[in-house]
Amino acid sequence: MTANKTNDVSASSPVGVFDSGVGGLTVLRELTRILPCEDFIYYGDVKNAPYGALSHDEIRRRSLEIAGELIGMGAKAIVVACNTATAAAVEAMRAAYPQIPIIGTEPAVKPAADAGHRHILVLATPVTVAEERFSALIHSRCGTAEVIAVPCPGLATMIEEGHTSDELICKYLDGIFAPLRGKFDAVVLGCTHYPLARVAISRAAGGDIPVYDGAAGTARQAARRISGSGLGAPGDKHGSVRFLSSGDAGKIGAFYEGICHEA
Ligand code: DGL
């Protein structure tokens, strides 16, 4: 990624979005739906993926570097389209770059609790469930609902590699859900990769169990923060999306085309 040095932003500046790979595209898709006039720069850090297998400090270091580069490229806001990077690094990013809004992605436990579910299963990376931010979210947003947090090592990588509905992922998911049968009434997808395998996850969960993810909520929060800072793109503009990566940016762009057509 080549950054320019200016920090000046205006309404026509782009919004930076990043994840370890293709997972954050589920958030980008919602962002482009509700902010069609904005330009987005999406960065997929595939060379350092999966974040769920890195240490807290490694995730923080990468997140700060990527945010710095996106800001150097003129980003007027950053959307951390990754639950793991949000859990480990969003506070450090906000402290390091107080000049622009930095919006995180959190597991959608609040919508699930607000809908009246009493036993909420959260699937997320091992890092996300181990972070204090995740425990704080549950304590502050779930009232008396029980939250069962299930770390899913390897699941994001499987999805990144295209296993979204085949035998490999179905077996993995059966292994996750088998000991939990009858113990939950909602599932929260606490990793932005997981909605890409929503059909398989929903089937493994039992079919009629509601499944929540944080993409739309994150996009709405980003829209509020961008317009709240007076930086919303002019309404007569047609927004664009540009893909960058520490690996193959073309692959990420092609993946995005695919999920937009599917939707
Ligand atoms: N998509 C990411 C998340 O939301 C991270 C997956 C990974 O790289 O482990 O947690």
> Strand 146-151 relative to strand 211-213: parallel, antiparallel, unpaired?
unpaired
159 ligand 1 Cβ < 6 A: no
User: What single-letter amino acid sits at 8?
Assistant: D
Judged on CB neighbours under 10 Å (0-12, 13-18, 19+), 63 is buried
Per-residue pLDDT tens digits for 76-131: 999 999 999 999 999 999 999 999 999 999 999 999 999 999 999 999 999 999 99
Q: pLDDT grade, residue 237 (50/70/90)?
A: confident
**142 catalytic per annotation:** no
6 Cα to the center of ligand 1, angstroms: 30
Ligand 1 pocket, 82 CB below 6 A? yes
Is pLDDT above 70 for 3?
no
Is residue 63 within 6 Å of ligand 1 at its C-beta? no
Q: Is 193 in the pocket of ligand 1 (CB under 6 A)?
A: yes
**pLDDT tens-digit map of 121-166:** 999 999 999 999 999 999 999 989 999 999 999 999 999 999 999 9
Task: Give the angle 82-200-54 at the CA atoms, nearest 5°.
Answer: 30
152 counts as catalytic: no
134 in Cβ contact with 87 (< 8 Å): yes
Tell me, using a 6 A CB cutoff, whether residue 84 lines ligand 1.
yes
Atom of ligand 1 nearest to the CA of 105: 4
Average predicted confidence (pLDDT) for the chain: 95
Q: 97 C-alpha to center of ligand 1: Å?
A: 22
Q: Could you give the CA distance from residue 115 to residue 214 in angstroms, rounded to a whole number?
A: 15
What global pTM score does this model have? Answer: 0.95
CA of 237 to the centre of ligand 1 (A): 32
- In the prediction, which pLDDT does 67 show? 98
